[in-house]
Structures are given as structure tokens and as C-alpha cells.
Structure 1
Amino acid sequence: MSYADENGGVTAVKAPRLLDQVRARLRLRHYSLRTEQAYIGWIRRFILANGKRHPRDMGAAEVEAFLTALATDGKVAPGTQNQALSSLLFLYREVLGVDLPWMETMVRAKRPRRVPVVLSRDEVVRLLARLDGQYALMASLLYGAGMRLMEAIRLRVKDVDFARNEICVRDGKGGKDRRVPLPQKIHEPLRQQVERVKVIHREDLDAGFGAVWLPHALARKYPSAPRELGWQYVFPAAQRSRDPRDGEERRHHVDESSLQRAVKAARHRAGIVKPATCHTLRHSFATHLLEAGQDIRTIQELLGHKDVATTQIYTHVLNRGGMGAVSPLDR
């Protein structure tokens, strides 16, 4: 690639590397950083698996072989295999602009329909009792409000409404907003957490920092917003760090893996043998609401499900035995 400079000469410009093109396209389409990292990783693996050949020189045979190897040799889950396929679809369609008929015939791996792991009320109490500080508060939000892991981690101060006893979940799965209940039991701990955020934010401002990352170019539209208290994360990281998107030093939210490790350790200390994770608390929220007689449409709204069929999976784990039937042994 080249262009004419102001003196009439020709200056060569190095074309961006393929992965940089992918990264730029993902950001143009407003994909999340986590999705960007996952897609870049799969595309890199695909190229390396084929001797560093350029994707333009490959086609259906190489893609099918790569996906087959993931399933047979790597023994990955269907969801992981589908993510790899989505990454390659994005590469060919959005970055390379290649319209390949064989892409339409690619069959996605069928994901098995599994009943979610759900904790009993007693198990939830035992689990939460083994957590301390902000980990106990975050886990209480997952169970008490039915929030997803990253929804709780990314919660901003402005989205907690103590007066109305509700939390506004912004940009949830599918880019949707919704409102969920704020449990009375965690009002005071959450207020104390917000006060702690105020102190940390004031110290960052005094040090010449205090700006937080904002989505969708809001920082350009509202230049003062990144330094406002309302936009700060309710659960900030202990240290400031460099943002991988633009290199700016900011205070990000706490890393989600720290809560995942804390919940796993608490599960062991509580003597719970079920393979419970952070998402199990969300499953338990929905199931316990159903057990209490809450209608399924309301639960669908609280969970942010697009289709009520997704919510109906919880009807299969109600505390009534298999399919609600009474075992003949108990008769």
C-alpha cells in the first residue's frame, strides 16, 4: 500500500496485520473485550494449525478439519466448538469480505439440554455464610437479584436505586437493560460499599486520575462523565491498571475470577458437594421464586430471557421430585 506525499513522492505504508484488522472490525461492531479476546484466540489457533497459511488460501476443508480436531482431539464442549466456528465466520465475512457458499452449510454442534445445578435454600445460606466482605455482597446480588456474574461485577453506582429498592442492569446479555429487585437484606452493606467507592474515587481524583471507562463513545459526548461518582464501579479493583483498548490508566472493576475462586472455596468449606458456581446462584434465584409461586413471565423478565422457553427449564428442577410425580416407593 502507498500514497503520494505533499512533495509528490510516494510513501509506502505497511498494511495492518490480519489480527489487527480483526480487532479493529470487532471494535467497530461494538463487540465486548471478552468476545474480542476469544475471537482473536480462535483465529490465531486456526492459522497456526494450518502452518501459518493465510485464511484467504484456505476453505471448507481446513475449517471442517479444524473444528473436527477440536471435538475429537481436544474433546471441547459443543459451545466451545460453536464459538470457534463463529470466530471463523466473522473472519471470512466481516474482515476478508469473502462470500463463501460453503460457510452456509457449516453445521453447528448440537448443545445438549441439561438441567441446571440448583442449591437448596439451606445450601445457599451455608454458602453465603462462608463468604466475607465484598465477595459476600456480590454473591448475595447473584442470588438475591438473579444477576449474571459480569452484570454484578460491572455494576455502576448510578444504577443502584435505594429509594425504589431496585437495580438497573445495563447492557445485559443481548444488549438489553432490565430492572431487578434490590434485596432489603443487603441495603446497609451496599451503602457501605458505595461509601468506600467514594473514598477510593476521591483519592484517585487527588492523584490526577479518577476517570472510568465508558461504553459507546459516551466519554466524547459527555467529557466530564468518566470522573463522576455515578459512573464508578460499585466493586472497583484494588489497583489502577492500563486499559488494553487505549492504554489509559484507569481503575477498572474487580476481576471476576477472584469472585469465582471465593465461591468455589466457600462451597468446599460449606461441605456442598454439588458443582456449584457463581451462575448456580442465579439458577437458584429463579427456582426458588418458582417454588414460592411467582409466575414464570415475571421471572423471565427478571432474568432477561428473550424467550420464555429458556425460563421454563427451571420448572424441571422444582422441589417436587422428577416431573412432579410421587415415587411409587413413597406410596
Structure 2
Amino acid sequence: MRHRLKDVAERAGVSVKTVSNVVNGYQHVRPDTRARVERAIAELNYRPNLSARNLRKGRTGVIALAVPELDIPYFAELARHVVTAAAELGWTVLIDQTGGGREQEHKAASGIGDHLIDGLILNPLALTAEDLADLDGTPLVLLGERVDHGPADHVVIDNVAAAREVTAHLVALGRRRIAAIGAQRNPEGASARLRLAGYAAALDDAGIGYDERLVAPARGWHRADGAAAMRDLLATGVRPDAVFCFNDTLALGALRALHEAGLRVPADVAVAGFDDIEDGRFSIPTLTTIAPDKERIARLAVELLANRLDGDRQAPPRELSAPYRLTPRESTTP
């Protein structure tokens, strides 16, 4: 039997309106009254009718998360955290893969479909601030580095500082020929440019010259791209003694190429990545990485979206920063 607000009100000895105020989190309820209502809710195992609530608010109870690639583990792990945070608000999450293409990203940012979603969390690679400024309607939260200080709320991490820290970790181990894998010069490569800047800054801090021969481009950031880039570096004859890969999947590919070349990690070449995907905790050796707080990124994004839906949609956009940490493992420290 599904209990109603009326049943909870009768059990607690209060009005239906008071129960509604407690369920919806209104602050102006006396503590003893709130306690009685919460006790009645628990005793009756009452669950709010989310469909009816959304209907009253003119909402669907559905949001969307649009990311470039679901086969990049970072985005899959992030999606899990977004789904968890959204579920606590009674929301369902649609997940869309844009491929990093402008047309698909524009479609997602435009709301995916009339009245289909209440809001969107988007990690754009192709859209610009100007593209987003032309959109109207669907509440939007941005992830990633493509659009800074744009027309929507934004959750970021400090990519430059993080890359600088992991490169400094390699320097502190006595490495001097530190390569970088993952450089991109295309407009979509905002993360790559920031991580390259952090890498270069750490070398400069240590008095190590920047050597273009040690910087390997990668059109994609998959395992195969990392393996190919590592093979290309080794083929030049400029042997690195450490490698900073701009994400963990590149690093896993680099580990494979080093193994094929008969080089030991970390004795001959130390390897570090970025993202702290689960695979890196089980690779041989386990992977040193920068660990962005993916759960915090997801919660901040969902909270920003909830604030837009329940608050002032005309308020200035906010940019919030999520933490990260350096996580040393066997690939740099035996």
C-alpha cells in the first residue's frame, strides 16, 4: 500500500501542508514538529510522488549529461557520479555522446528535444562561448576547459597546477628527460594545452630546458594513441627517463609500448597519467596519476543545475573549482 501525504499528516497529528513543507525542505518548521513528521514518514515508509511533484512544477524530472566519448573511462566514471547525485534529487539522467562535434554539441545544448529534459550538464569540445550565448531556455552547466568564464555555470579543476605538480613529482625523482604525450594543437584541445603549460612550467621551475623532441602529439586520447606516441618517441633516439601522459588511457598505452621495447617501468622510464581511472589501479605496474575528485565535480554540477531550476535563472554564471590530488603508485615509485 502506497501511503499519501494525508496518511503521514494523520500519523504525525499535523496538517498536510506541514508535511509538504517538511518533505520539500522548507526551513520554517518548528524542530519538534519536523521531528514528528520525519518519524511518521519513517514509520509509514512514505515516498514522495515525484511524478506529481514534477508535473506541478512543469518539469519532467529528467536531466541530461552530454560528454564527448563514453569509451574514455574518465567520462564513464564521471557519469556514474552524476547519476548518483541526481538520484538523490529524484532525477533521472539521460546520457548523450557528442563525439566532440559541433553539431551534436549544439543539439545537446539546445535541450536535446522540446520538453524532454529540465537541464543539461555538458562537456563541450567544439562549442565556443559565442555558440552558447546564442542558446536560450534549457538550464546549462559546463564541464571541461573549452569555455572559460562563459554564459553558463561551470565546474573546473586547475589543469595547469595539476600538470605542474605531477611533472614536479617526476623531477623530484631525479628524472631530467621528461617526455609529454597527448599534445594537441586543434581548437578542441583545451585540456591538452593547459596540461602542456603545466608541464612546461614545472620544467622551468627545475631549470630543465623545454625540448620539443620530447613532446609527442596525440590526436585521440585512447590506449592505442598512447602506445603509438610512445613508440614514435623511442624511435627518435631521444630516450626519455620519464613520461607524463595527459590522461590515464594514454599512459596505459605507453606502458604497453615500453614493455614491448624491453624497458622497465619505473627503473628505466617512469610513467605518470591523469584522471585516476580504475584501470590504472590494476595495471602492472599500478599507475601514478592526478586524481580529480570526480564525485565532487558531479555533485557541484548537479547542485548548480538544481539552483538554476529552483532559483534565479537570470543570476550571473558561477565558476566553481573541484579539488584534485597527486596519487603516486608503482609506475614512478617502486
Q: TM-score, normalised by structure 2?
A: 0.25
Greater share of residues in strand = 2
Greater share of residues in helix = 1
